[in-house]
Structure 1
Amino acid sequence: MTLIALPLAAVGAGSLLPLLLLVVQLAIAYLVYRDAKRRHSRHALAWALGAFFGNLVVWVLYYVVRDEVGR
């Protein structure tokens, strides 16, 4: 019996990238939430959910308007 070299995706390495992206999204959503809470925003949870589900668009939007968020 001979061993056949399998591509990395066949042995599970392909599942690491989506997991890594999920962790990054969660981390950024947490950072947005924490920053909005520190700025006394009434909508901190909404910003965090938007950052998680809206990705780059909401991240950029938050950091553009974050000075006005807590007012």
Structure 2
Amino acid sequence: MLPSLQLGVPGGAEIVILLLIFGILLVVPLIVSALIYRDANDRNSSHALAWASGSFFGAFLGGFFGGVVVWALYLVVRDEIGPAGP
């Protein structure tokens, strides 16, 4: 067997898999925080940006559990913020 076939390519499939995982871990909190911001903004909340940034950083820095806690808190208190838009 040729020795060149036994050498691994630096940055092969492992890098692609890591980039996909990092992309998913970045995109999902970003989408959810955008949805929370839009919903809080429709309800005329003055803390819409705080809810959105808290949900993003809770999920991105605190792991999946941190994001779920913030998202559940928002779902519990969002009716107290105000009624939905027209």
TM-score scaled to structure 1, two decimals? Answer: 0.82
Following TM superposition, the consecutive aligned residue runs of length 4 or more in structure 1 with deviations greater than 2 angstroms are 1-8
- Name the CA distance, whole Å, in 2 between partners of 1:41 and 1:48: 11
Identity of aligned residues (%): 50
Distance of 2:53 and 2:42 partners within structure 1: 17
Q: Which moved more, 1:52-61 or 1:33-42?
A: 52-61
RMSD: 2.1
Unaligned 5+ runs, structure 2: 59-66
TM-superposed deviation, 1:42? 0.6
Counterpart mapping for 1:4-23 below 5 A:
4=6, 8-9=13-14, 11-23=15-27
In the alignment, what sits opposite 2:43?
A: 39
Aligned length: 70
Q: CA deviation at 1:14?
A: 2.0
- Decide which structure has the larger Cα Rg and report it: 2
